[in-house]
């Protein structure tokens, strides 16, 4: 028998115990509760013992004892920038996924935050948006489903500002890039005509903050938020982001992608009060610029 058994993906909201009973049939209710109580159930890689732990579509439930590892925020180089009863903002390092994929189901920002809240008996997080694995910076989670829904409904109006370390220097010190993007079967995003099937409008506003040698630091504010939008737009300026061979830069002077989610501004989903969170450019990227 395998050390860990993966159950079918969750397809509807449900309390954990109620979902487990049919999933583990014909195991008795008593045995299922015992399994939960002794830490034999994990949700998205995080051990859960609460019978009423809420499941949402896409959650992954496993039975068994996974290999022991430190699933803390600190071990994942994650820090909490802002926390209240409705939202949590994390500062995520490059190299860490936001949520699970088929290839990586356990070590994610979501799993580590879930473990952190579980240890405090403080509920569970709800995903509001995602950052690519190789992008560092600010990542927003909600504390309730209602807060998540409110934030996602207002997402186009939120201010999302990134810092990009690019090759060269854009011809113009500031500007607005507006075109249409489409994702190909190879998962690469490219510029396309407006009428092309699946074309999506993509708008970025940028300004050059400084240059050092072969590189420049560019501030980019997203008006729309398409997959790989900033990476494609910087390449379109003939200034690809460093460490991004997919979109034009084979050089990797920082040992990582030169993209960082630096500022996030949004109205609090409950009170409406403005929240502004910031994250400094990581040291690896500052060194490329001589800092």
Catalogue the active-site residues. 132
Q: What is the pLDDT along the chain (291 residues), one digit of tens a residue?
A: 346 788 888 988 899 999 999 999 999 999 999 888 878 898 887 788 888 888 988 888 999 865 556 678 988 889 999 999 999 999 999 999 999 876 666 689 999 999 999 989 999 999 999 999 999 999 999 999 999 999 999 998 899 999 999 999 999 999 999 999 999 988 899 999 999 999 999 999 999 999 999 999 999 999 999 999 999 999 999 999 999 999 987 788 999 999 999 999 999 999 999 999 999 999 999 999 997
* Calpha distance 259→241 (Å, rounded): 7
Find out whether 204 and 222 touch, Cβ atoms under 8 Å.
yes
Query: Where exactly are the structural domains of the chain?
Result: 4-64, 79-153, 156-288
pLDDT at 1: 35
Task: From residue 186, give the alpha-carbon distance in Å to each of 7, 67, 102, 263.
Answer: 30, 34, 17, 31
* Calpha distance 217→166 (Å, rounded): 6
CATH superfamily of 79-153: Pseudouridine synthase (3.30.2350.10)
pLDDT at 51: 86
pTM, two decimals, is 0.76
Fold exhibited by the domain 156-288: Pseudouridine synthase (3.30.2350)
4-64 and 156-288 agree in CATH topology: no
């Amino acid at each position: 028998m395998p050390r860990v058994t993966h159950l079918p993906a969750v397809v509807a909201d449900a309390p954990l115990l109620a979902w487990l009973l049919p999933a583990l049939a014909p195991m008795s209710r008593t045995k299922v509760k015992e399994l939960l109580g002794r830490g034999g159930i994990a949700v998205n890689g995080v051990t859960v013992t609460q019978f009423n732990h809420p499941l949402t579509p896409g959650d992954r439930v496993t039975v068994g004892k996974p290999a022991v590892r430190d699933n803390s925020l600190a071990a994942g180089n994650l820090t909490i920038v802002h926390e209240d009863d409705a939202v949590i903002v994390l500062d995520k390092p490059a190299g860490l996924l936001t949520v699970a994929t088929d290839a990586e189901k356990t070590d994610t920002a979501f799993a580590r935050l879930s473990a952190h809240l579980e240890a405090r008996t403080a509920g569970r997080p709800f995903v509001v948006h995602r950052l690519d694995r190789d992008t560092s910076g600010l990542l927003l989670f909600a504390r309730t489903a209602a807060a998540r829904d409110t934030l996602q409904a207002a997402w186009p109006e939120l201010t999302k500002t990134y810092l990009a370390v690019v090759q060269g220097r854009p011809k113009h010190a500031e500007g607005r890039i507006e075109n249409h993007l489409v994702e190909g079967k190879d998962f690469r995003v490219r510029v396309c005509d407006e009428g092309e099937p699946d074309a999506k409008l993509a708008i970025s506003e940028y300004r050059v903050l400084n240059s050092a040698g072969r590189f420049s630091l560019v501030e980019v504010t997203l008006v729309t938020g398409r997959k790989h939008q900033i990476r494609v737009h910087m390449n379109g300026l003939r200034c690809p982001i460093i460490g991004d061979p997919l979109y034009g830069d084979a050089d990797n002077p920082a040992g990582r992608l030169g993209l960082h989610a630096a500022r996030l501004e949004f109205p609090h989903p409950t009170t409406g009060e403005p929240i502004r969170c910031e994250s400094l450019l990581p040291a690896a990227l500052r060194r490329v610029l001589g800092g």
